[in-house]
Amino acid sequence: MTMHAEASPTPVPFVVNDAVRRKMKHEKIAKGIFATMIVLMLLPLIGILGYLVSQGAPLISWDFLTTNPAKGMTQGGIWSALLGTIWLVIVSLCISAPMGVMAAVYLNEYARDNWFTRIVNLAVVNLAGVPSIVHALFGMGAFVLFFDMGRGILAASLTLAVMTMPVVITSTREALGAVPMSFREACWNVGATKWQTIWKIVLPNSISGILTGVILEISRKAGETVPIMFTGAVFFKKIQEGDFFAYGLNDQCMALSMHLYTVTTQVNGAPRELPFAVATVLIVSIILINSTAIATRAWLRSRKKW
């Protein structure tokens, strides 16, 4: 008996019918809507930045950045305000970033799911939504009066740290939770302790996500006015030009955000370009800091193996 192999069925080519065409049409419409949203979101931003730069650029120079305000802030530069903003951001970042990361590590890796941790999580979420004026009053009452720090960079930085710490905690918890549990289990199986696993495996693989919170934190710190106005900033202070350490931790300081408010509302006879120049320097400084952090985050993400 001759055995004949059964002929394999001929594959049916994919046919674009009316249903598929309707789905493809809906997909194009959805992509168009989302692309339009992005354009509509970017156009105002580009317009604002372009207007600020075009109006403030004629006044911006090296002398503008490295000299103090003079003649009732109608002349001179912004050195004291620029340096004050840098110190406020650095000191508050050194306080809030380590504390926020450690709090997130405890909540995500050590704490059990019980009523206490749920209350803590609720407190972190609520703290992120508290208005800045409330943080300002808290900082003045707690750091300036109760702890008798006086109005200065340290008290203002602590206030900014309390205000922005929920962002660091939330972003760090999300980054820690994104690390696969198999990484932890592999370490535990070879005898590593929980802390060794966190320090050597979990944190290095979540650092890019942690930097996301730090980026948002820096942007908010640099632009806040009310918290530092209550706790450490002044309208005018003359310091040694070119000296990066001209301010002490207990000294009051100027800040770009408050200086912008001052020259816009309180100074008579100032050049029309001055507020735009101050705003341009503030925005460009934030963009440069964020770009550096974003580039670092992208480089760290490129090293991931998962």
What does the pLDDT look like over 141-165, one tens digit per residue? 999 999 999 999 999 999 999 999 9
Please report where in the chains the tokens 């205000």 appear, as a residue: 163
pLDDT at 13 over 70: no
C-alpha 14/C-alpha 221 separation (Å) is 56
pLDDT for residue 11: 61
CATH 1.10.3720.10 fits 60-302, yes or no: yes
Phi then psi dihedrals of residue 76, to 5 deg: 80, -160
C-alpha 222/C-alpha 278 separation (Å) is 13
Q: Answer for the pair 63, 263: CB distance below 8 angstroms, yes or no.
A: no
* Selection from 257, 235, 232, 248 nearest residue 155 by Cα: 232
List 253's β-bridge partners, or say none: 233
Residues 212-271: tens digit of each pLDDT: 888 888 888 888 888 999 999 999 999 999 899 999 999 999 999 999 999 988 888 888
Output the six-digit token pair for 60. Answer: 């911006």
List 76's β-bridge partners, or say none: 69
Per-residue pLDDT, averaged over 17-24, amounts to: 85
Per-residue pLDDT, averaged over 69-85, amounts to: 92
Q: Which residues contact 129 (CB under 8 A, 6 or more apart)?
A: none
pLDDT at 72 over 80: yes
pLDDT at 88 over 90: yes
> Which amino acid makes up residue 271?
P
Q: Answer for the pair 56, 278: CB distance below 8 angstroms, yes or no.
A: yes
> Which amino acid makes up residue 48?
I
